[in-house]
Amino acid sequence: MLVSAMLASCAVGPDYIQPTAPVPLDYKELPGWKIAAPGDEADRGDWWSIYNDPTLNSLMWEVEISNQNIASAEAAFRKSVTLVQQGRASLFPTIGLNYAPTRWGEGPAAGNTIDDSTGSTTKKETTYTLDTTASWDFDVWGKIRRTIESDAANAQASAADLASAKLLAQAQLAAAYFNLRASDTLHVLLRETVAGYKETTEIAEAKYRQGTVSKYDVVTAKTQLRTAQALEINVGVQRAQYEHAIAVLIGRPPSEFSLMPESLARDVPVPPLSVPSVLLERRPDIAAAERRIAGQNALIGVEVAAYFPDISLAGFGGGVLSYASYGFVGTSAFPVSIANQVWSFGVNTAQILFDGGLRRAEVASAVAAYYESVADYRQTILSAFQQVEDQLSSLRILAEQAYVLDDAVRLSDEALDITLAEYRAGTIGFTAVVQAQEILLTNEQKALTTRQEQFLASVNLVKALGGGWDSSELPTWEELRHWRACITVRQVLRGPMDEQLPPCL
């Protein structure tokens, strides 16, 4: 009855209540954006499918399988699960067995005992000790349960960290991929520019041979051509670096990976938005921060339990038997006779009477850590809303800029055609042609850069919205309790270890 009452007692310390968060009613940059219906979020999981790029799709699957940062985060999560299981073991009694056969002897000068069987003054004897021990810490005040509660919350936070690592690697891959495609497009643009400059150089040379222009026009045309060729070559530097970055993100050596050139797409997809409150359930970093608050809250109870006595049950049972003992019963190896049994059983209660304020300081430290985690949680939320607002404004402004630049490219291309026609007719000098060509190339580069930034802003917006993840994907307490570890003692004793983390861990 006493044990049942103790185990049924409540855990000391505050019960967890999720703190309030600074959540706005609407996004500042919301006007003009479509709000998704609750079941409409198409980007659940495979958020990259909105770009409709088969090459990107295949690379994304390799990231989740082979990215080493993700593998590290997954191993850290599995480790955090084992802490829950280790904590649960403390709720059960610990039972031990000790078996110790001992052979000992005494010489003639060691004592006066005479061996009756031999008449010798020496003595030799074998002693067998067999005993069992048992102990059980009654979790009367909930110290163990609060510790398990903290470990479980931290394991859930680690699972959210794993989701964050996946989302980060996926976003980094998408950014590197679109940067690479922008480099491919820039290379095509500069190649076409070089071709146009070659035609202009030929026009200048023909007019020079005719004697209608000076050699200055020819030299200027060739200088401009060489400058464009140098720019075309330089594009290869950035492209190679983006390709190397993609290789590392998918877990391959850069020397074993390459992508065929393709142009950057024209249309920039934008994921649908939800109301701001949904962001708290969709961002894994927010979920991780919230779970860490729960873990710190439970640790307050652990420290408060130190004010109350520790109550535990300890027992011992066994026997010591000499082979030569009178009334020997049983085999020589196992002393099981009732006559030589030894046992003890008792309840231990321990209470600290004076500690110089140590427990109070430890409770204060746990409370301060709790409020620190609350502040981190709220700051994470504020940063998340800032990131969403930043990308919404970027996409809106970049779209306006892209529209204007596309028109500027069209007009500067038309102006170059007019300028070249007038130069052929001899009504203007070559300087006007050079200026028109430079203006066209500058506008084309700006338009491409703006489109590149739109794709990056789109990726960053998906990342800011959580990439389709949901807090319902966090492991539950029951799942953490029954998580199966497939590593056996034989494996770690004899090895070698598997190169990859086994899926059953």
Q: Which residues lie below 8 Å from residue 141, measured CB to CB, with a gap of 6+? A: 9, 11, 12, 304, 305, 308
State whether 113 and 221 are in the same domain. Answer: no
Instruction: Give the DSSP letter string of 12-35.
Output: PSPPP-PPP----SS-TT-TT-PB
Kindly report the CATH number assigned to the domain that includes residue 74.
1.20.1600.10
> Within a 13 Å sphere around the CA of 157, how many CA atoms are in the beta-carbon half?
19
Would residue 81 count as lying in a domain?
yes
Domain identity same for 154 and 100: no
- Residue 334 and residue 289 share a domain: no
Q: Is residue 12 part of a domain?
A: no
Containing structural domain, residue 82: 51-91+142-307+357-494
Distance CA 467, CA 44 (A): 7
In a domain, 6, yes or no: no
In a domain, 22, yes or no: no
Strand order in the sheet with 123-138: 94-106, 123-138, 310-322, 341-350
What does the longest C-alpha to C-alpha distance in the chain come to?
Answer: 139
Copy the structure tokens of residue 120.
């010798």
Q: Is residue 398 part of a domain?
A: yes
**Do 181 and 319 share a domain, yes or no?**
no
DSSP state of 305: G
**CB–CB of 359/306 below 8 Å?**
yes
Q: Which of 350, 382, 411 is the last residue of a domain?
A: 350
Phi-psi region of 327 (alpha: psi -120 to 50; beta: other; left: phi over 0): left
Residue identified by tokens 């009694």 is: 93
Q: Assess whether 296 and 335 both reside in one domain.
A: no
Out of 288, 323, 350, a domain closes at 350
Which backbone phi and psi does 490 adopt, to 5 degrees? -60, -40
- Omega of the bond leading into 496 within 30 degrees of 0 (cis): yes
Task: State the DSSP string of 423-451.
Answer: HHHTSS-HHHHHHHHHHHHHHHHHHHHHH
Task: Note down pLDDT in tens along the chain; length 505 residues.
Answer: 444 444 445 789 899 999 999 888 888 877 666 655 544 444 456 899 999 999 999 999 999 888 999 999 999 999 999 999 889 888 899 888 888 787 777 666 555 555 555 555 566 677 777 788 888 888 888 889 999 999 999 999 999 999 999 999 999 999 999 999 999 999 999 999 999 999 999 999 999 999 999 999 999 999 999 999 999 999 999 999 999 999 999 999 999 999 999 999 999 988 878 888 889 999 999 999 999 999 999 999 999 988 888 888 887 776 665 554 444 444 455 555 555 667 777 888 888 888 889 999 999 999 999 999 999 999 999 999 999 999 999 999 999 999 999 999 999 999 999 999 999 999 999 999 999 999 999 999 999 999 999 999 999 999 999 998 999 999 998 888 888 777 777 777 776 777 777 776 6
Please check whether residues 425 and 453 belong to one and the same domain: yes
Q: Give the DSSP H/E element, type plus range, for residue 496.
A: none
- Within a domain: 27: no
- Report the alpha-carbon distance of residue 143 to residue 298 in Å, rounded: 9
CATH number of the structural domain spanning residue 328: 2.20.200
The pTM (predicted TM-score) of the whole model is: 0.86
Pair (109, 251) in one structural domain: no
Q: Are residues 333 and 397 in the same domain?
A: no
What are φ and ψ of residue 347, in 5° steps?
-105, 130
Q: Choose one of 294, 319, 350: the last residue of a domain.
A: 350
3-state secondary structure 344-360: EEEEEEECCCCCCCHHH
Query: Does residue 260 sit in the same domain as residue 339?
Result: no
User: What is the residue-wise DSSP string for 159-180?
Assistant: HHHHHHHHHHHHHHHHHHHHHH
Whether residues 239 and 113 share a domain: the answer is: no
Domain count, the chain: 2
Tell me, yes or no, whether 1 lies in a domain. no
Same domain, 169 and 298: yes
Q: Rounded to whole angstroms, how far apart are CA atoms 131 and 112?
A: 31
Whether 407 maps to a domain, the answer reads yes
Structure tokens belonging to residue 289: 């921060």
**Residues 127, 179: one domain?**
no
* DSSP structure string for 257-297: ------PPPS----PPB--GGGHHHH-HHHHHHHHHHHHHH
